[in-house]
Structure 1
Amino acid sequence: MKRSTLRKTVLTLTALVAGFGAATATPAQAAQAADAGCRTGAKLVPTCGVLWGGAAGGFTSAPRDKALKDWEKASGRTATIFHQYHKGNEPFPTKAEIAMTEDAAHPRVLLENWKIAYGSTWAKVAKGEQDKRIDAFAARAKAYGKKFFLALNHEPENDVVARAGSGMQAKDFAAMYRHTIERLRAKGVTNVVNVLAYMGNEKWMAQSWWKDLYPGDDVVDWVGLDSYVSVEKGYYHFGDFGDLLDRKPKGGALGFYDWATTKHASKPLMIAEWGAYHRVGKRADKSFVYDSVLAELKKRPAIKAIVHFDTKHDDEGDRDISIDSTSSSLSAFRKLAANPIFNVKLG
């Protein structure tokens, strides 16, 4: 092949991998992008593109593996990241979760949320009082063998008790996080990639203790954010995909994305939960949120993964965060999911 021809081919594939020129791609274009070599590295950070993930069946009794498969069918793409939730002594990865990562036709990696201090406190975990719990998990993780994401106590802001001696102050969370990661490493666990998943709400970011949550770059692999937007004008947190990244506390402080990329520039950013909601029964269109995602990702190269949380009602029972609440919403989401930027192979 001539150099000029080779250069044109490389440039074409690069553009396809970036995936921002168009909201959809033909099957041939998607295949070309995948062949260009976007894949995950040592810390599951993609060499190019963005990891696509999902959690489905939230706040229902539906088996989470089946719920995710149904969501994948509806969205038209396999969720490379399969997001699950656990607490306390619950044994995980479970057989069902492991099976989801052994499906060669649908490659997936686990994102396990673990409220390790369930029934205890962060301070007690940091003091070693839950080391038996940590060691049991370490043994399971090593036996599993494959790399997977671990989020320790996602959205810690919501659990902070800002009172001396509570054992649940922000500094206690940081100490718990550090102790757990350091003990896992000491036990020889090398396949866990940890994610510090913030709630990122401007109310919490304005608290004097918010900065104390961070345990240190040496024990954090990814910085995560759980954030949602409303599609009803005038309702709480109305906006598009960019708005869920840029909420700022009062007083002129940085929004979450700018904070993460300024204060922790070496860390990849995962949107560990995201979605668009309307009040149950309103059936408002979500298309404009889904249509805004690609342009925002183009402006924000630190984002290396986005994981949609899908449910017909949230924990408060009044918000629909599903992708198919209207036909136009589902169509827009399928268009987003089809983009080759999400064609990342698990390395």
Structure 2
Amino acid sequence: MRLKKRFRSDRTARPGRGRTLRFHRRRPARAALAGVLAGVLALSGCSLLGDDSGDSPASGGTAAPHATAGAGQDVPYDVTPLLKPAKKYFGASVPGAPTSMKNVDAYTRMTGKQPNLVEYYAGWGDGFDATGVRNAWAEGALTLMSWEPFDTPLADIAAGESDAYLKKYATAVRELNLPVVIDFADEFNGHWEKWGTKDVTPAQYVAAWRHIHQTFVDAGATNVIWAWSPNIVNPVPDVKLKPYYPGDAYVDWVGLIGYFTAGEDNSFDSVFGTTRDRVRTFTKKPILLLETGAVPGERRRADIRNLFAGVAADDDMLGFIWFNHKKRADWRLEASPLALKEFKRLAADDRFGFDVRKPS
């Protein structure tokens, strides 16, 4: 069973997602879309879904650049510099963020470094959190949304039954026009998810992913970075990943989800190596540790050292997001003062963290 819970964008906890008892683009060229974007409305800075104040898109921070390609036309934010930056992403998932950045600021004080990638969880049907994206951007951080279709079959999404919702969502993302990372239906290779191996075929998963991606492209929302995110294969070694891969035209990042756990070999390669090697047989897209942590205990300091060293040593590793929640296990850094001290020491490395508004 899974050792943490998921969250909807209204911040209520979801039921625990199952995990084994381990604590465990050739994207269509954006320039090519310029012709289709003639006549697109000027940047509104407000969400079409959910509550949003409609204030400026980066109030308190640097606004997204808008190169003018023609009268009445604004150009989607070019995320290219963010796809594989020179430095590593230093990410965090903390309660309430990015709608409120209070806990991100506390995490910054605790670790001595500002996270530049903030992850949150949203259910299919939830509105786009434009306010949260702006809040994070104002502090130099990119937002990553883990989009979870708990109550909607993937076959229905692929068939277009959610298109009214999906088109409004894509339009809201396009109109905000700040970069956003979307991770849809993660851990699909596990049996513990409603969109996992017990209920969804690889073909259904790929069809849903491609349909969502194409809807965003049709809306001109190329300001999205798409992260395809399997769970590490250790607990499900017989599930092949390649059949679930939507293809390089639909994916920007591979986002691995895996934890350093108790009672196992916790070298970086032991935790992530097998999955990384399997992924490398069918794509060369850069890899982000999209969700990770280490179980509290005497090994946590060593696990943290392994995490930083493993990410730093691999040029194709973009960085990591630490899951700083107490959910079934206490993944919070503050739960282990000595390990926190080690984390803070390693986080000071200049290779980790940068202002995403100035990626180069």
State whether TM-score is above 0.5. yes
Task: Give the aligned residue type for 2:141.
Answer: R
Task: Give the aligned residue type for 2:94.
Answer: A
Task: Give the aligned residue type for 2:147.
Answer: W
Distance 1:68 1:161 in 2: 31
Distance 2:125 2:171 in 1: 13
Residue 293 of structure 1 corresponds to which residue in structure 2?
A: 307
1:310 touches 1:321 (CA, 8 Å); kept in 2? yes
Match status 1:123 vs 2:155: yes
1:51 touches 1:81 (CA, 8 Å); kept in 2? yes
Distance 1:68 1:125 in 2: 33
Instruction: Tell me the secondary structure at the aligned position of residue 271 of structure 1.
Output: strand
Q: Which has the larger radius of gyration?
A: 1
Over 4 Å off, 4+ runs:
61-64, 160-163
Distance 1:185 1:41 in 2: 14
Residue 88 of structure 1 corresponds to which residue in structure 2?
A: 124
Distance 1:109 1:45 in 2: 12
TM-fit CA distance, 1:133: 1.6
Written as runs of structure 1 = structure 2, the 5 A alignment for 1:225-304 is 225-230=256-261, 232=262, 234=263, 237-246=264-273, 255-265=274-284, 267-278=285-296, 283-304=297-318
Task: Give the aligned residue type for 2:337.
Answer: S
TM-score normalised by length of structure 1: 0.73
Match status 1:223 vs 2:269: no
Task: Give the aligned residue type for 2:330.
Answer: D
Written as runs of structure 1 = structure 2, the 5 A alignment for 1:1-347 is 42=80, 44-57=82-95, 65-102=101-138, 106-115=139-148, 117-158=149-190, 159=193, 160=195, 162=197, 168-207=200-239, 210-230=241-261, 232=262, 234=263, 237-246=264-273, 255-265=274-284, 267-278=285-296, 283-312=297-326, 314=327, 317=328, 319-346=329-356, 347=359
Instruction: Tell me the secondary structure at the aligned position of residue 277 of structure 1.
Output: coil
% identical equivalent positions: 19
TM-fit CA distance, 1:100: 2.5
TM-fit CA distance, 1:51: 1.1
1:76 touches 1:337 (CA, 8 Å); kept in 2? yes
Instruction: Tell me the secondary structure at the aligned position of residue 342 of structure 1.
Output: coil
TM-fit CA distance, 1:162: 4.6
Task: Give the aligned residue type for 2:277.
Answer: D
Instruction: Tell me the secondary structure at the aligned position of residue 217 of structure 1.
Output: coil
Deviates more, 1:196-205 or 1:173-182: 196-205
Distance 2:117 2:124 in 1: 22
Task: Give the aligned residue type for 1:111.
Answer: L
Task: Give the aligned residue type for 2:201.
Answer: Q
TM-fit CA distance, 1:56: 1.3
Closer, same or farther in 2 for the Cα pair 1:200/1:330, shift >3 Å?
same
TM-fit CA distance, 1:96: 3.5
Q: Unaligned regions of 5+ residues in structure 1, if any?
A: 1-39, 247-254
TM-fit CA distance, 1:139: 1.4
Distance 1:199 1:125 in 2: 22
How many residues matched? 277
1:229 touches 1:243 (CA, 8 Å); kept in 2? no
Q: Unaligned regions of 5+ residues in structure 2, if any?
A: 1-77
Distance 1:259 1:327 in 2: 36
Instruction: Tell me the secondary structure at the aligned position of residue 84 of structure 1.
Output: strand
Distance 1:81 1:133 in 2: 26
Closer, same or farther in 2 for the Cα pair 1:64/1:311, shift >3 Å?
farther
Instruction: Tell me the secondary structure at the aligned position of residue 157 of structure 1.
Output: coil
2:99 touches 2:129 (CA, 8 Å); kept in 1? no
TM-score normalised by length of structure 2: 0.71
Aligned Cα root-mean-square deviation (Å): 2.4
Instruction: Tell me the secondary structure at the aligned position of residue 296 of structure 1.
Output: helix
